[in-house]
Amino acid sequence: MPLLHYLDQGQGRPLVILHGLFGTLDNWQSLARRWATEAGLRVVSVDLRNHGRSFHSPEHTYALMAQDVLDLFDHLHLGPDVTLLGHSMGGKVAMRLALDHPERLARLIVVDIAPRFSDMEHQDDVLAGLQAVNLAAISNRQEADAALARHIGNVGVRQFLLKNLYRREDNSFAWRINLGVLAAQLPAVGEATTAAAPFLKPALFIRGGKSDYITAEDKLHGIPALFPNSEVATVVNAGHWVHAENPEEVFGLVRAFAQQ
Catalytic residue numbers read 88, 240
Largest CA distance in the chain: 53
What is the spatial distance between Cα 200 and Cα 107, in angstroms, rounded to a whole number?
9
Task: Say whether 62 sits in a helix, a strand or coil.
Answer: helix
Q: Please say whether the beta carbons of 182 and 65 come within 8 A.
A: no
Alpha-carbon Rg for the chain in angstroms: 18
Q: What is the DSSP string of 79-124?
A: -S--EEEEETHHHHHHHHHHHH-GGG-SEEEEES--SS----GGGH
